[in-house]
Structure formats: structure tokens, C-alpha cells
Structure 1
Amino acid sequence: MTSLPSLLSMMSQLIATPSISCSQASWDQSNKGVILLLEDWLSGLGFQCEIMPLPGQPDKVNLIATIGQGAGGLVLSGHTDTVPYDEDRWQSDPFKLNERDNKLYGLGTCDMKGFFAIVIDTIKDMDLSKLEQPLIILATADEESSMDGARALVSEGRPKARYALIGEPTSLTPIHAHKGIMMEKIRITGQAGHSSNPALGSNALDAMHAVMSELMIYRNGLKQTYRDANFVIDYPTMNFGCIHGGDNPNRICGRCELEFDIRALPGMDNQSLYQEIAALLPRIQQNTGTQIELHHLFPDVPSFSTQKESDIIKACERLTQKDAATVAFATEGPFLNQLGMETLILGPGSIDQAHQPNEFMALDQIAPMQHVIKGLVERYCLTPSTENEASRV
């Protein structure tokens, strides 16, 4: 068996390998370097490693690393990309692991390259020759932008296991649900003209006022109709994020654009929401003499929910001594659920540090996370599945 680097050495190498994903091409990078590091370490432990390029994106790849066989088993999943960074706001090099004040600093330490190092360091000391069910390490591309890595897995129908844990930073709290998110744009095209005579044009800003008024009524209806007490904000939200229109006070506005998001509760369907909003627009278009278009800014992410009675939720509540909760941020959880796995989100580090300058993982998060990983591998991979089933009766 190949000798593995230490946990901190693995984390240092992962942090030193840039893998930013971004909708802006000037920032966007390949994640292959990170995947190749993981492949090297995991193959040394006996895993069968498959690198899967994303369709039409050869520089973006997923990794499925499998050891053991069976119909059940466990997936330990994470994404290999990071967000961009503000170099002038970092107190140290974001691509060099820096330890100070009992914290590990670097871009991706908690979100979420550090998770892979912790997983590999934990399982290297376990007897994987005695697996009764498969253990799968899943590493994805582009979670921070398009989630195309997770979408590609759903298209392929792989991997398959009974349970999955995604190691996003949750301060070691089991997460059983989060809201979905959709980001949309409404573009209104009117007719510009001299402001002294409104009849010379069709004012796109006037039409947008009507659109926003309808959306506010619709938003209030969603709030009155849908509630989920598991969430701090227990209703679906719609946020008007930015608006652009017109060019001068003495010209009738010829074009106006509004960008907004909706965060739907579990059980709500993003496509149905999109269609309901689209149905509000033709009447306004006719009344204002404008052209109104609704477009996706990004592909939507469904809401995520795993039953709190799921065995993996209960197991992680015992292992962490924390009750399962919900979060507002989106993850790849709904895509793994679509693959048929009972999934939860649980990882080291805090979401408060993610996407921030001087991102860090506190050292005291590592040992408890290793305790969780070891417990889950023992329960779902080193124990025959018949015993797991019996324990759920």
C-alpha cells in the first residue's frame, strides 16, 4: 500500500492547487489538479477510481472512487472547486495552508477541500479489506457555479449507494433539509422617445412597475400558502436583487431589466413557480404595449429534504450529539437524493467562514469529524446490510 501524506500535507496540497469555478470566464479554472491528487491517494488505498469529464467540458471532471461491493453502502461526497477570492483582503496567501490561533487558513479549507483530507486520513487507518458494502468517495466539479458536476451524475445515474454524506461546512450539525433556489431575469423592451410626449413611446419602467407590483402580490401569496416550521425563515422568499433601466431623465425608458431569486421550501416545485410567474406577464405586456421576456439566469437547484427518521440522520445525531437542523444555503444534496440515496449534509468548519477572506477551519473540528466518518463507515460498510436493516426495524 502506498504511503500517504499526513492530513495537513494533504490539505496543504489541495489548497495549493487552484480550482476556482465561476460564471465569469476570467476566473474560471479546471479542477483536474485536485482530482488527480485525490485519485493518487485513493488508488493507493485500493479504491477503483473513475474520472468522468463533464459533457462538453473536458477540463471539468468528477471522480468516483469505489472500494467494496454490494447494493448498499455509503457515499462520502464533496466538491473540488472554490469561489474566487479578494487577494488584498487576505492576511496570508490563500493558496498556502497557514496555521495560526488553532485554525487552518486557506482558500477551500472549510468549503470544502479540507473535508477530503479528513476523509482520507480517517479511512487509511481502517481495515477496508473487511468491507461488507461499498464505500464510495465522490468528488465533483463546479458546485460553486453551475452544479454541472452533480447534474452530470444524475444524467449518468451514478453512483449508487444506500446513504450519502456531503461534507459541506455545517459546524458538525446534521442538516436534513434546505431550500431550493432559482435566479431569474425579466427583460422589458418598450419604445424610447422624447419625454415631453408620452405618446411617442412605451415606457419600460412603467411596465416594470406593473410587473413588480404583480410579483409582490404573488410573493405574498406564496408566504401565506407555504410554511415549514423547520426553517428559521419558514416561508418561501422572493428577493428583487437588481434593476437596470433607461439612460436619461428626458427620454422615455426603452428597456428595463429586473433580476430576482426565489428560495422555495421542500415540497415546492421550481418549474411550477417559473410557469406561474410567466403566466402573470402577457396581460401586462398587452396593457403596456411592451415586450416582456422571462429568462433563467442560472439553472435552478431543487430544494433538499431527507426524512428526519432516516437511519443516517439518526446515526449522525447520535455521533454528533446534535439534533438535525436546516440551512438556507443550497448544496448538491437534492441531486444525490435524485440518485436514490438518503442524504444528509454534515461537515467541519462554519458556513460563516465560507466565501470569505481568510477562510479557515478550526483545528478542533477535525477529530469530531473523523469520529463521524469512522462511525458511518463501520455502520454502513463494515456491517452486513441485513444487520443494518434489522437495526432499523
Structure 2
Amino acid sequence: MPLPSLKQQFSQLIALPSVSCTQPEWDQSNLPVVEQLAQWFGEFGFACELQEIEPGKFNLLATLGQGPGGLILAGHTDTVPFDSGRWSLDPLKLLERDDRWYGLGVCDMKGFFPLIIEALKELPLDKLQQPLMILATCDEESSMSGARALAKLGRPLPRKAVIGEPTGLRPVRLHKGILMEQINITGQSGHSSDPSLGHSAMEAMHAVIGRLLDLRGQWQKRWQNPLFGVPVPTLNLGCIHGGDNPNRICAQCALEFDLRPLPGMASDELRAQIRAQLTDVAAEHQVQIDYGPLFPGVPAFEELADSPLVQLAERLTGHSAESAAFATEAPYLKALGCQTIVLGPGDIACAHQPDEYLDLARIEPTVQLLRGLIDECCLRPAEPQPQGSADA
């Protein structure tokens, strides 16, 4: 069966809803999307493997060729939820208007896969010297469970990885991580006329917030990276809930906050420092404090500036590698030993927004860029590695 045109591929993928969300009423399977991609890449001779991560959620690994080096072109198959009432068009139908294609996922980031297919059409794939892998993951927009599962599996992968998240065709070699945490304090209620009758969870939380802000100040003095627009780690106190009446000593108080560490800051160490402060506050205020993540978190990511893949991407795009403010699946591929960058045609400013779009002017440059990456990484023999070296 002949492959659909590029526009038809975009249209078919957009029409297959694959929302991932922490709210069960929104969450959907991505199986129809990965099955469609497997069919298309199978037409080129790729060996396609579907990995079930959890019920209804799948990764696709499509591999062509073999050898020690090679390239992964990676992306996620899910989208964020959408409010159709805020769109000026049907989010699940591709629309061409104003030299753009509109639809949920055209930018972030189902549209990356048809562009890969378009690039493959003009390449001598029977002459691959190193393997080419297409990785399509699930649940990037909610839990990153697909990338986490791949990292946990630990299987050998090609040496270089390009993730097609929206970067405006400018290579990104580092981004901050993100932790979302929750603190729950349980005190003892009592009549407010006599403070000795209880232990205020709200007063304890006041102390906790002071400790968190002190930690933030310490981290921002120690850790700075001028490559980021906000060059220090941030900690945001997002929401707080506690108490039930002015004349009762507060027995329950909960705080949710996020922390965005710079590359080099270890999540486990940050959490250990927070936990030590909470232990002190709990003893001082005679309350119980429970602390844990709202989700596992995403590590910070950095690929070195002198990495061969970074230098290749800079040469092919004509842009120096940058940082990004958003988190991606890059740290999980990096943990598997892949040189990794983030590089895709969309604009992050229109991602997660009504009327998401991809400029048509980006299509041909992206196709040529992908052909250049595949040519350099897969159609040429692997360069010998010095004994004992590793691309980690």
C-alpha cells in the first residue's frame, strides 16, 4: 500500500486522539498512533517493536540496520488535553491557513514523525552503515512513563539521539529539571483561646516555608548558569491549604511547590536537604510532617558543548546550541549512554495552546536537516572509538 502524502500523514495522526493526563477522565491510549506509525515505518523495512508500558500505553521502537553507532530520532505520541471551546477550529482536524498547518500535535509533537518519513524517501536506506532507530514514546505530557521505562530497561541504543520537541530548529543541549513536591503537616486541633491545647499545623507550615526559602537562597548562591534566561534554580510555592475555622487551632496544612534544578544538581540530594529541614521543624512544633513527590520528577539535562552531536547539529542548522526552559525526555536517553540533543521544527510558544500550529516554511528545512543527520550518523561508517572511551 503506498504511503499517504505528507499532509495526509499529518491529518491522520492528528485525527487519532492520544491525550495523556493525570486526570483519568482525560487520559487516553496511544495505541492507534503507534500502530499507524509502525505500519508506515514498516514500509521502509524497519523492524517495529511495540512495548506495552502499562495498559493502553505503548512505546514504539522501529529499527533499521545494525552496528555500534547510529542515530535515534525520538518523539512522544501523546498530546496535552484541550478545550475545544477555546479553539477557533476542530483540534482533531488538520487545517491549512495563513501558511500554517493547525491541529493538536502538529507542533508538539506528532508532526515530527511524518517529517522523518518525508526525509527517508530520498535516502539510500539499503546502504546504511550504522543503525537508524525511530523512538515514539507514551505519556511524555503527564508522567514520562515511556521514557522512564526505556531507561529502566537499559537496552543498548544507537550512539546519538535527537528529540524533535519544538525548538524552532535551533539545537538545545541543556535544560532544567522539574520536581513537584507535596508537604502535609498534621498537628493537634484545640480551642484557640488556649494555645497549649493543640499544635498548630499552620504555624509549623510557616516555619517550613521559611526553611524552604532559606534553602532556595543557598542554592541560588551556589548554583548559577548564565546559559539560562533564569540563571539560578527556582522554587515556587504553588498552593497551600489548611485549617477550617478562625477559632480552632489548625490541625492540617498542605503545601505543594515546584523546584527546577540546574544541570549538576542531584534530585536525591535536594530532597535529602529538604527532608532534614522538615525533621527539625516537626520536632520543634510537635507535629507530623509527611513529604513526597507529586510525580517522580524530571532530571536536569546537559550535553557537553564539544559533543560531536552538538557540533554536528550546530553545523547543519547554522545556530549555536542553546538552553531550554522546558523539560524533555533527553535525560533518560542520556542516561542510556546516548549523546542527546533536542531539535525540532515547532515553536514552544504555541505548544499547549489553542490553535496550535506548524509554519509550513519549517517543513523543507526540517526534512533537509533530518537527511543531513541520517547521512552523517547512519550512511557513513562508524568512527573508531578510543579504547576505554564511552559516549555517556
Q: CA deviation at 1:193?
A: 1.9
Deviations 1:82-112 (A, max 9, x none): 0101111000011001110111111111100
Which AA in structure 2 matches 1:352? A
Please state if 1:262 is matched with 2:259.
Answer: yes
Contact kept? 1:241, 1:261, Cα under 8 Å: yes
Q: State how far apart, in whole Å, the 2-side matches of 1:28 and 1:236 are.
A: 31
Q: State how far apart, in whole Å, the 1-side matches of 2:49 and 2:136 are.
A: 11
Q: State how far apart, in whole Å, the 2-side matches of 1:209 and 1:359 are.
A: 41
Q: State how far apart, in whole Å, the 2-side matches of 1:40 and 1:217 are.
A: 54
Question: SS at 1:234's partner residue?
Answer: coil
Which AA in structure 2 matches 1:68? G
Q: CA deviation at 1:387?
A: 8.1
Please state if 1:229 is matched with 2:226.
Answer: yes
Contact kept? 1:380, 1:388, Cα under 8 Å: no
Deviations 1:123-160 (A, max 9, x none): 12211001000010000001111111001111212351
Task: Give the equivalent residue in structure 2 for 1:40.
Answer: 39
- Alpha-carbon RMSD across the aligned residues, in angstroms, is 1.2
Task: Give the equivalent residue in structure 2 for 1:65.
Answer: 62
Q: CA deviation at 1:388?
A: 10
Question: SS at 1:138's partner residue?
Answer: strand
Equivalences, count: 386
Task: Give the equivalent residue in structure 2 for 1:324.
Answer: 321
Q: CA deviation at 1:113?
A: 0.2
Q: State how far apart, in whole Å, the 1-side matches of 2:156 and 2:95 are.
A: 35
Task: Give the equivalent residue in structure 2 for 1:79.
Answer: 76
Structure 2 residue aligned with 1:343, among 340, 344, 351? 340
Deviations 1:159-203 (A, max 9, x none): 511100000000111000001111110100111222222222111
Q: State how far apart, in whole Å, the 1-side matches of 2:337 and 2:52 are.
A: 22
Contact kept? 1:35, 1:63, Cα under 8 Å: yes
Which AA in structure 2 matches 1:89? R
Q: State how far apart, in whole Å, the 1-side matches of 2:286 and 2:97 are.
A: 62
Q: CA deviation at 1:249?
A: 1.6
TM-score, with length taken from structure 1: 0.96
Q: State how far apart, in whole Å, the 2-side matches of 1:386 and 1:202 are.
A: 66
Which AA in structure 1 matches 2:255? L
Task: Give the equivalent residue in structure 2 for 1:21.
Answer: 20
What does 1:206-285 align with in structure 2 at a 5 Å threshold? 206-285=203-282
Question: SS at 1:152's partner residue?
Answer: helix
Which AA in structure 2 matches 1:51? L
Contact kept? 1:202, 1:290, Cα under 8 Å: yes
Task: Give the equivalent residue in structure 1 for 2:389.
Answer: none
Task: Give the equivalent residue in structure 1 for 2:120.
Answer: 123
Runs of 5+ unmatched residues, structure 1: none
TM-score, with length taken from structure 2: 0.97
Q: State how far apart, in whole Å, the 2-side matches of 1:302 and 1:23 are.
A: 19
Runs of 5+ unmatched residues, structure 2: 387-392
Which AA in structure 1 matches 2:90? D
Which AA in structure 2 matches 1:97? L
Q: State how far apart, in whole Å, the 1-side matches of 2:292 and 2:182 are.
A: 5
Q: CA deviation at 1:58?
A: 2.7
Q: State how far apart, in whole Å, the 2-side matches of 1:108 and 1:388 are.
A: 39
Structure 2 residue aligned with 1:185, among 182, 187, 199? 182
**Change beyond 3 A, Cα 1:159–1:139:** farther
Q: State how far apart, in whole Å, the 1-side matches of 2:222 and 2:78 are.
A: 37
Question: SS at 2:253's partner residue?
Answer: strand
Task: Give the equivalent residue in structure 1 for 2:29.
Answer: 30
Q: CA deviation at 1:3?
A: 1.6
Q: State how far apart, in whole Å, the 2-side matches of 1:251 and 1:368 are.
A: 65
Structure 2 residue aligned with 1:93, among 90, 95, 104? 90
Q: State how far apart, in whole Å, the 1-side matches of 2:67 and 2:384 are.
A: 14
Structure 2 residue aligned with 1:164, among 146, 161, 165? 161
Question: SS at 2:383's partner residue?
Answer: helix
Q: State how far apart, in whole Å, the 2-side matches of 1:215 and 1:380 are.
A: 46
Task: Give the equivalent residue in structure 2 for 1:333.
Answer: 330
